Amino acid sequence: MSFTRRQVLGGLAGLTALGLGGVGARLWLARPQVAAEHDYELIAAPLDLELVPGHQTAALAYGGRFPGVEIRGRQGDWLRVRFTNKLDQPTTIHWHGIRLPIEMDGVPYISQPPIPPGQSFVYRFKTPDAGSYWYHPHLMSSEQLGRGLVGPLIIEEREPTGFSQEKILCLKTWHIDEAGAFTPFSVPREAAREGTRGSLSTINGEHLPVIELAAGQITRLRILNLDNTVTYRLNLPGGEAKIYALDGHPVAPREFKEQYWIGPGMRLELAIRGPAVGAELSLRDGVVRLATVRGVAPTQAASAEWPAALPGNPVSEPDLAKAETLNFKFEWVGAMSEYASGQERPSLWQINGVAWQGGEEHKHNGPPLAKLKLGQSYIFTLRNMTQYQHPIHLHGMAFKVLDSNRRPIIPYFTDTYLLGKNETARVALVADNPGLWMFHCHVIDHMETGLMGTIAVGDAWCG
C-alpha cells in the first residue's frame, strides 16, 4: 500500500486552504493533544536593515527581524508554525537538521507545492532531537537566504541540563557594498571555486559585536553558521571553552582548542567560561576578528562548574556488520560553456556523474541517486574529487560519521559533514524515515550549480 505523489501534494494543498480560514484555526485548537505543542505565527516579508551605519539594506526577514525569530520547541513535543509568505515570490521553509515527515520538510515539488505570495502553510511536526537547528527556504536559495531568510531553531532537552544561561550566535557574511546595496549572491567564477563570498561579517546581524559573558560563570554558546558560502575557522585565543555538541547532536565534552571549521549550515555548541570582569577575548575566523567577548559582572547566581555531557538523542545506531555500502563521488565539471545555452545557472558540479537539473525552484528533479530500503543500515562512502571543501548535508535522517582518510574522527551523529578537499569519509545511517530526501552541498552556489540530488527511502518513494 502506498500513496502517489499527487495525493500527497493534493492533501497538502487542502491543508493550506484550511489553514487560511477561521475554521482551520478552530480545528487546530480542538485537536486533542498528547504531547505539548509550541505554536508560532511566522511571516516572511521585506525588511530594511541597517547593516552599514547610515545605510539601508533591502533585506528579507522572518518575523520582522534578523536573524529570524528564535523558534523554540522541546524534545518530543509538537512544534507548529503557521507561516505566511509576504514576499513577492514563492517560498517554503525547510527545518534544517530536524528528523520529520517528508510532508513537512519544505522542499518544493517534493514535500509541498511552493507557497505563493500571500498564502499560508501550517508546518506541524514532532521534534525528536534536542539541540541547535535552523530554518531557511529551499528555493531561490542564494537570493532568499542571501537576503536574510535564516533563523535559529532551538529544541530544548526534556530534562534540565547543567547550563543555566545561554547565547545564540548566528554567523552571516553579507553580500553588500559600502552603501549597504546587495552585490551578486553567486557569480559563476566563484561558484566554480569555494563559493561566492560576501564582504561584511556579522554575528546576529552586527559587524564586530561585543558579546558579554558573566565573568567566571559557564555559558552555553550555540554558534550557528547561517551563511551561504563561508566556512569559518573559529578560534578563541586564550579562551576557556569546551565542545558539547556538533550540529545539534551531543558529544563527550572536550577542550575547544586551536580551530574548528564550521561550514555553511553547521552548528557548534560550546560551554565557555566568561573572562574576568573587563577582560576581553577575540572570537576569530582564522586571524580575522568576528567579535569581542567581554567579561561582565554576573547578574545571577550560576554555576562555575563544567556541566555534565548533554543527553544523547534517540537516533538509531546503524548496524555496521549488516550495512550495505553506497559510494558517492563529488566532482568538478566546470562546463561553463553550457551556461550560455539558456540554463539559469552553469553546471559546475556533479554527484556520481549527475548534476542537479531541478533549477533554483526544484521544478524537475531526476531519478534519486540511491534507493534505500526502509529500516536497513547503510554506509555512505563520500569521496571528494575536488580541490574545494563541501559541507555535505542530508535531510530527514541523522548519520554517524565513522572515519576519514584525512583526519582522526571520534564517531558522532550529524546532518552535515564538512568533506575536505580530496578527502574520503565514511558515514553510516539507518534508513528509518520514508521519503525523498535532499542530499547536497550546503555551499549554496555549489548546490545550485549541480551539487545536489535526492535519496529515496522506502517502497513508496523508490518507485
Binding mask 208-247 for ligand C2O (x = CB under 6 A): ----------------------------------------
Q: Tell me: does residue 441 bind Cu ion (CB under 5 A).
A: yes
Q: Tell me: does residue 265 bind ligand C2O (CB under 6 A).
A: yes
Nearest position to ligand C2O, beta carbon: 96
Nearer to Cu ion, 190 or 212 (CB): 190
Per CB under 6 A, which of residues 182..201 are in contact with ligand C2O?
A: none
Distance CA 93, CA 80 (A): 13
User: What one-letter code names the amino acid at 55?
Assistant: H
Q: How far is the CB of 451 from Cu ion (least distance, A)?
A: 5
Distance CA 197, CA 222 (A): 23
Distance CA 445, CA 290 (A): 23
Cα separation values, 325 from 144, 321, 380, 452, Å? 36, 11, 6, 20
453 CB-near residues (< 8 Å, 6+ apart): 351, 352, 354, 356, 366, 368, 369, 438, 439, 440
Nearer to ligand C2O, 362 or 400 (CB): 362
Binds ligand C2O (CB under 6 A): choice among 82, 99, 390, 393: 393
Instruction: Give phi and psi for 455, each to the nearest 5.
Output: -120, 125
Per CB under 6 A, which of residues 363..382 are in contact with ligand C2O?
A: none
Piece in contact with ligand C2O (CB under 6 A), picked from 36-44, 198-206, 323-331, 434-442: 434-442
Q: What share of the chain is helix, strand, coil (3-state, %, to 5)?
A: 10, 45, 45
Q: Tell me: does residue 400 bind ligand C2O (CB under 6 A).
A: no
Size of the site for Cu ion (CB under 5 A): 6
103: DSSP letter: G
Q: Tell me: does residue 94 bind ligand C2O (CB under 6 A).
A: yes
Sign of torsion over alpha carbons 367, 370, 371, 374: negative
Q: How far is the CB of 440 from ligand C2O (least distance, A)?
A: 6
Distance CA 38, CA 69 (A): 14
Query: Scanning the structure block, which residue is given the C-alpha cell 573587563?
Result: 278
- Residue 390 touches which member of ligand C2O, Cu ion, none, C-beta under 5-8 Å by kind: Cu ion
- Residue 443 touches which member of ligand C2O, Cu ion, none, C-beta under 5-8 Å by kind: Cu ion
Nearer to ligand C2O, 196 or 225 (CB): 225
Map residue 191 onto helix, strand or coil: helix
Instruction: Give phi and psi for 77, each to the nearest 5.
Output: -90, 175
Residue closest to 301 by CA, chosen among 222, 214, 241:
214
Per CB under 5 A, which of residues 60..99 are in contact with Cu ion?
A: 96
Distance CA 235, CA 239 (A): 9
Piece in contact with ligand C2O (CB under 6 A), picked from 57-65, 159-167, 330-338, 437-445: 437-445
Question: How many Cβ atoms from other residues are within 10 Å of residue 41's Cβ?
Answer: 12
Q: How far is the CB of 237 from ligand C2O (least distance, A)?
A: 30
> Which residues contribute to the site for ligand C2O (CB under 6 A)?
94, 96, 136, 138, 265, 393, 395, 438, 440, 442
> Which residues contribute to the site for Cu ion (CB under 5 A)?
96, 390, 395, 441, 443, 446
